[in-house]
Structure 1
Amino acid sequence: MIKRITLISASIALGCLATIGPVLTSIYIADRDVEMRDRAELGDLADKAVMRTELVTYQAFAALSDLGREPGAPCSPPNLEQAARVVYNYRYIQDAGAYGDGRYLCSPLLGDVRTRDLSLPPPDYRSNDGYLVWFQRKSPLSDVRKDILIGRNGYYVSIDPNSYVDLVDPARRPIAAIQTTTGRLLAVSPGADPDEMLDAWKQGGKVKNDQWNYAVARSATRPLAVVVKSARSSVAGDWPKVLAAWLSIGVVAGAALGWLAYRRVTRQLSFPATLEWAISRRKIDVVYQPIVRLVDEQCIGVEALVRWTLNGRSISPEVFVRVAEENRLIQPLTDLVLEKSIAELGRLLVANPSFYVSINVSCDDLRTLRFLNLLRASLEGTGITPAQIRVEATERSFMNVDATRGVIAAFRAAGHPVYIDDFGTGYSSLSYLQTFEVDVLKIDKSFVDTIVQDAASSVVAPHIIAMAHELGVEIVAEGVESRAQAAWLLNKGVQYAQGWYYAKAMSASELVLWLTKSRVPREADGRIHDRLVVDAIGTRQHDSRSQG
């Protein structure tokens, strides 16, 4: 009962969550949406920034190429004139000139300084294609400014580092340009922390920070990258329209899901959940209806049937089995029947190896080997043979031919005979009988009821019997309620029957008494199976003690 109350409480909680959850989720999604918008916008800025670094670098390389085109010795008047044109023609070039032997030689701004000792230290980086780079090189023309020098073949150009990060950005978001081969900063915009930007590049922009977003973009042609960052937006303060849109969706979804959850919860609380609780608490009973051999009316086995009493009232199996199928409870229900059948009839089955119990299985258990594997594990060490646990399935279970054929064959290969239950009530019976190999057909009670009457449907049973004989399978007639029916079936060659004429379904202890008193199975030589009686009585006494 405590578990039942817990289930009800959980269902109500889930109903509330279904209503409130979408609203809270919409707020979360709105926050993520704003974050994605921020990152997309920041990514666009990073792409523009890396294009700027490529443009500045391209101009430096083009300027160096132009410096070498004018014939004449470095620092000659024509050569200096060409350098002046380069400075004028290229926007990002601040100065251009010649160097050699570790010294500045000349430039339009420096003039001819070969007689002066303006040293130029070794470069900070040498590329594979011959370019030399000096990072943050102090200019001879300024006491504070540091430029980037790029040189090749004795010529150099000077670039203001801010050219790499000087983008038109109304938000003035911090930008850093990085030479990726060396991991050196080329430039960083005013106010940005160089160490922070360099660390963000090393992490690929994936920095955990509650206040800032970062983005990294890399050049596809040069060893260059940029890092940009921006403050995280507030969904309520910066994007109120986005929040309103997502909240509207959340409220509508919450109302819809809340209504659906209400209907679902009320339905679950009324019957399916109660059934699930009953199965899990083993409140479902198993009863056994004898199956007799018509020729001598000896009981040779039983069919396991389910019964459920709820609040003192018996629930029809047709009702709760259908509910179990619709709510994915049929497999746990079948498992419970198997468990109880082995526990309650174990001694009886071991004492009489020819006696068996048949168990109804669902469509789901004819599509996979799940139930067969459970059967094997359950019988291990019990002394019960596979042939003593038989499998019954309705016609509609066989409709999925591809999925079912192999499973049916596996049951039979493992020694479990397969029955087709309620035969004649499904579709295309003859076609799937030719497709599947089965052991027994069970004629549905609706056809047995008509066999001694002049009803139009009375011709069906003879056809089913003839079909079974033609295919070489045995027959069990269900719902036999009179001696006339039994005699007619025996005359038609039907081997087995079950029904109220012989016995109603009964509990395990009642079955033992019934077998002991009147229909104890016999050995082939006709002797009474004394061991069966002794063990059966022991089982009944054990059951009595358990109930007490």
Structure 2
Amino acid sequence: MIKRITIISASIALGCLATVGPVLTSLYVAKKEVERRDRAEILDFAGKAIMRTDVVTSQAFAALADLDRHPGAPCSPPSLEQAARVIYNYRYVQDAGAYAEGQYLCSPLLGDVRAKDLTLPRPDYQSSDGYIVWFRQKSPLSDERSDIQIGRSGHYVSIDRASYVDLIDPARRPIAAIQTTTGTLIAVSTGADPDDMLDAWKHGGNVKSDEWNYAVAQSSTRQLAVVVKSPRSSVAGTWPKLLAAWLSFGVTAGAMLGWFAYKRISWQLSFPATLEWAISRRKIDVVYQPIVRIADNECVGVEALLRWTLHGQPVSPEVFVRVAEENHLIQALTDLVLEKTVAQLGQFLAENPTFYVSINVSSEDLRSLRFLNVLRSSLAGTGIAPRQIRIEATERSFMDADTTRDVIAAFRAAGHPVYIDDFGTGYSSLSYLQTFQIDVLKIDKSFVDTIAQDTASSVVAPHIIAMAHELRLEIVAEGVESASQVAWLLDKGVQYVQGWYYAKAMSEDALVTWLASRNRAPRQAEGVLAI
């Protein structure tokens, strides 16, 4: 009898374990996933915050450089006029003027105060290259506010400390900016605990807390860091209800969870094989998004893009392209794009020698001449000129610099212009642009979206445009959706755009029809001439 009860009890225990086990496992996984997402989100926000500190500080240094370029006599009308111009041109600069021997001399806001004996305290920090800094300097104009004041060669600029932490954040996460050489807290958002933020910085964000996550981001160019604090998301508070519900459903709930997990895992395991089948059977489609020259509103070319419908549902290119890269299918996918492009638009390209198609190439095909050889073979005898097939590569494709540089040079030597796609979102820098011979920069949609907006990333597009002009590169702006964006880009000297404002990506037949309709329609009917 005791043995039978023991067996029954063990069976019941195993049944309960089989039922509750998936629940507990899923709760554990959910908790870890919440923690991972929390961490990723706070790190992303810290990256945006450090970008703001770099922008604010860069403006201060640029303002001082502008003052130094007009050396005139201190406090003379021309020097005061230049200081006023600096205050107007740099949005984060609150005041700019002259000082000497530890005293204010003048500024457009203070006027000429040489006779007023306005003494400056000893600076809080002096850099090796001659900059001096007061981290909390009260202006003679106000007893309430203290600014960051930076000086060099007899000129100074004042920056509102709040500029370093004044980010648009619906979550209102506490932010602090810190000068890392001295460990000085130079700015902190409203409601944040300065001691708490400094302690988090000293520990690299590794602070044990059941309530808060911390992240620290370090500037790559300045002695600055930011600390961001965000409340932890809680799954634990819902555990009792979830556990009770799952126990109520019992075996049925466990079976449903097992079925879902089985279907999910089966789909994931089979997805690369399905993608390989789709590539080999030519089941993936190529569509074309127009690229328009702003100056005359003419469509000069298109970008070839991928579309895949699986079981009646569209699969995101971001998903299946990544799977192709991870499973060594990306070269076959790129070959398929080229094959369909030549088959669908070959005659049109041969009849319109100024029209072109740009094709995205993976990092694998920038490490060898394989795709260039395929390209040469595919174009032979078609009447398509090499310049009509252009190569687009993302910034991360340039990481293997030595090999990539030679392959890029080979594409250009063969007559294929080379574009950097989604510039500003990857790992490249000005040094890459200076060492690689390329033809065009494409500004990512995320930066085009912020044009003329007061956001931390709204300064990126103007900087990219200025960089491209300096290097004599042409520019294509992606994701253009409004006439105001077109007007702004035209004013900044951007030559080409693509986006839904002109047309979505379309099939080859729709493209030819669309181009024909544009040729028949008056030019002022759309685009920049209608702005």
Question: What is the TM-score normalised by the length of structure 2?
Answer: 0.48
